[in-house]
Chains A and B, each alone.
Chain A
Amino acid sequence: MVTEYTTIGEIAGPLVLLDSVERASYEELVEVELPDGELRRGKVLEVDRSKVLIQLFEGTRGVDVAKTKVRFLGRGLELSVSPDILGRIFDGLGMPIDDGPKIIPEKKLDINGSPINPYARIYPKEFIQTGVSAIDGLNTLVRGQKLPIFSGFGLPHAELAAQIARQATVPGAEAAFAIVFAAMGITFEEANYFIRDFQETGAMERVVLFINLANDPTIERIATPRTALTAAEYLAFERGMHVLVIMTDMTNYCEALREVSVARKEIPGRRGYPGYLYTDLATMYERAGLLKGEKEGEVLEGSITQIPVLSMPDDDKTHPIPDLTGYITEGQIILDRVLHRKGIYPPINVLPSLSRLRDKGIGEDRTREDHAQVANQLFSSYARSKEVEELAVVLGEAALTEADRAFMAFGEAFEGRFVQQALDENRSIEETLTLGWELLTMIPRTEIKRIRDEFVERYLPKREAPSEG
Chain B
Amino acid sequence: MGAGKIVKVSGPLIVAEGMGESRMFEVARVSEKRLIGEIIELHGDHAYIQVYEDTSGLGPGEAVESTGQPLSIELGPGLLQSIYDGIQRPLNVIYGQEGHYITRGIDMPGLDRRAKWDFVPNADLNEGDEIGAGDILGEIQETALIVHRIMVPPTIRKGTLVRKPEKGSYMVEDTVAEIRTDDGIEQVLLFHRWPVRTSRPVVKKLVPEKPLVTGQRVIDTFFPISQGGTATVPGPFGAGKTVIQHQLAKWSDAQIIVYIGCGERGNEMTDVLQEFPELVDPATGHPLMERTVLIANTSNMPVAAREASVYTGITIAEYFRDMGYNVAVMADSTSRWAEAMREMSGRLEEMPGEEGYPAYLPSRIAGFYERAGRTICLGKEGRIGTMSVIGAVSPPGGDLSDPVVQATLKVVKVFWSLEDQLAFERHFPAIGWLSSYSLYHDNLANYFRNEVEEKWEEMRTEAMGLLQKEAELKELVRLVGLDSLSDQDRVILETTKSIREDFLHQSAFDPDDAYTRLLKQFRMLQVILELHHKCIKAIEKRTPLRKLLDLPVREKITRMRLVPESELDSFDAILEDIDTQVTDRSHENRTGEDEVQGGDRREVD
In the assembled complex, the CB of A23 is this many whole angstroms from the nearest CB of chain B, namely 6
Cα of A286 to Cα of B269 in the assembled complex, Å: 13
In chain B, what residue has the closest Cβ to A268?
Answer: B356
Is B102 engaged at the interface, CB distance under 8 Å to the other chain?
yes
Is B303 engaged at the interface, CB distance under 8 Å to the other chain?
yes
In the assembled complex, the CB of A126 is this many whole angstroms from the nearest CB of chain B, namely 13
Cα of A344 to Cα of B292 in the assembled complex, Å: 48
Cα of A118 to Cα of B336 in the assembled complex, Å: 17
Interface residues of B in 92-121 (CB under 8 A from A): 92, 94-95, 98-103
Interface size on A, residues (CB 8 A): 79
In the complex, are the beta carbons of A120 and B95 less than 8 A apart? yes
In the assembled complex, the CB of A297 is this many whole angstroms from the nearest CB of chain B, namely 10
- Given A118-B83, A120-B100, A328-B265, does the pair A50, B339 have CB atoms closer than 8 Å? no
Cα of A391 to Cα of B478 in the assembled complex, Å: 7
In the complex, are the beta carbons of A266 and B346 less than 8 A apart? yes
In the assembled complex, the CB of A212 is this many whole angstroms from the nearest CB of chain B, namely 23
One of B237, B267, B300, B477 near A327 (C-beta < 8 A)? B237
Is B564 engaged at the interface, CB distance under 8 Å to the other chain?
no
In the complex, are the beta carbons of A116 and B356 less than 8 A apart? no
In chain B, what residue has the closest Cβ to A400?
Answer: B482
Cβ of B100: which chain A residues have Cβ within 8 Å of it?
Answer: 116-117, 120, 237, 291-292, 300
In the complex, are the beta carbons of B356 and A351 less than 8 A apart? no
Is A287 engaged at the interface, CB distance under 8 Å to the other chain?
yes
In the complex, are the beta carbons of B482 and A328 less than 8 A apart? no
Is B18 engaged at the interface, CB distance under 8 Å to the other chain?
no
Is B406 engaged at the interface, CB distance under 8 Å to the other chain?
no
Interface size on B, residues (CB 8 A): 74
Cα of A117 to Cα of B299 in the assembled complex, Å: 11
Cα of A285 to Cα of B266 in the assembled complex, Å: 10
Interface residues of B in 526-546 (CB under 8 A from A): none
Q: Which of A24, A279, A283, A324 has the most CB of B within 10 A?
A: A279
Cβ of B54: which chain A residues have Cβ within 8 Å of it?
Answer: 114
Cβ of A121: which chain B residues have Cβ within 8 Å of it?
Answer: 266-267, 269-270
Top 9 nearest A-B pairs (CB, nearest first) are: A318-B397, A282-B299, A25-B59, A27-B56, A286-B300, A114-B101, A326-B237, A118-B269, A26-B9
Is B501 engaged at the interface, CB distance under 8 Å to the other chain?
yes
Is B481 engaged at the interface, CB distance under 8 Å to the other chain?
yes
In the complex, are the beta carbons of B267 and A123 less than 8 A apart? yes
**Interfacial residues, chain A to chain B (CB-CB below 8 A):** 23-28, 45-50, 76, 112-124, 144, 237, 266-270, 275-276, 278-279, 282-283, 285-287, 289, 291-292, 300, 317-320, 323-324, 326-328, 330-332, 351-352, 354, 356-357, 359-360, 372, 376, 379-380, 383-384, 391, 394-395, 399, 401, 446, 449-450
Cβ of A292: which chain B residues have Cβ within 8 Å of it?
Answer: 95, 100
In the complex, are the beta carbons of A28 and B57 less than 8 A apart? yes
In the assembled complex, the CB of A55 is this many whole angstroms from the nearest CB of chain B, namely 13
In the complex, are the beta carbons of B92 and A119 less than 8 A apart? yes
Interface bits B286-307 vs A (CB < 8 Å: 1, else 0):
0000000000101111110000
In the assembled complex, the CB of A109 is this many whole angstroms from the nearest CB of chain B, namely 12
In the complex, are the beta carbons of B91 and A118 less than 8 A apart? yes
Cβ of A117: which chain B residues have Cβ within 8 Å of it?
Answer: 91, 94-95, 98, 100-102
In the assembled complex, the CB of A124 is this many whole angstroms from the nearest CB of chain B, namely 7
One of B8, B266, B274, B346 near A286 (C-beta < 8 A)? B266
**Could you list 30 A-B pairs, sorted by A, with CB under 8 Å?**
A26-B58, A45-B10, A46-B10, A48-B60, A49-B7, A49-B8, A117-B101, A118-B83, A118-B261, A123-B270, A123-B271, A123-B274, A124-B267, A275-B356, A276-B303, A278-B299, A292-B100, A318-B396, A318-B398, A319-B397, A328-B265, A330-B265, A351-B424, A354-B423, A356-B238, A360-B271, A379-B424, A379-B426, A380-B425, A394-B479
In the complex, are the beta carbons of A47 and B103 less than 8 A apart? no
Cα of A113 to Cα of B301 in the assembled complex, Å: 11
Cα of A286 to Cα of B263 in the assembled complex, Å: 11
- Given A28-B57, A120-B100, does the pair A331, B270 have CB atoms closer than 8 Å? no
In the complex, are the beta carbons of A276 and B343 less than 8 A apart? yes
In the complex, are the beta carbons of A286 and B298 less than 8 A apart? yes
In the complex, are the beta carbons of A49 and B60 less than 8 A apart? yes
Cα of A378 to Cα of B515 in the assembled complex, Å: 25
Known contacts A123-B274, A279-B339, A327-B394; 7 further A-B pairs (Cβ under 8 A): A27-B55, A48-B10, A114-B103, A237-B100, A286-B265, A286-B298, A395-B481
Cβ of B61: which chain A residues have Cβ within 8 Å of it?
Answer: 23
Cα of A114 to Cα of B104 in the assembled complex, Å: 9
Is B558 engaged at the interface, CB distance under 8 Å to the other chain?
yes
In the complex, are the beta carbons of B296 and A328 less than 8 A apart? no
In the complex, are the beta carbons of A119 and B343 less than 8 A apart? no
In the complex, are the beta carbons of A286 and B299 less than 8 A apart? yes
Cβ of A287: which chain B residues have Cβ within 8 Å of it?
Answer: 300
- Given A279-B339, A399-B482, A449-B558, does the pair A25, B58 have CB atoms closer than 8 Å? yes
In chain B, what residue has the closest Cβ to A404?
Answer: B482
Cα of A113 to Cα of B102 in the assembled complex, Å: 10
Is B342 engaged at the interface, CB distance under 8 Å to the other chain?
yes
In the complex, are the beta carbons of A119 and B424 less than 8 A apart? no
Cβ of B102: which chain A residues have Cβ within 8 Å of it?
Answer: 114-117
In the complex, are the beta carbons of A47 and B265 less than 8 A apart? no
In chain B, what residue has the closest Cβ to A317?
Answer: B397
In chain B, what residue has the closest Cβ to A28?
Answer: B57
In the complex, are the beta carbons of A26 and B266 less than 8 A apart? no
Cβ of A331: which chain B residues have Cβ within 8 Å of it?
Answer: 238
- Given A26-B57, A270-B355, does the pair A359, B509 have CB atoms closer than 8 Å? yes
In chain B, what residue has the closest Cβ to A332?
Answer: B238
In the complex, are the beta carbons of B274 and A270 less than 8 A apart? no
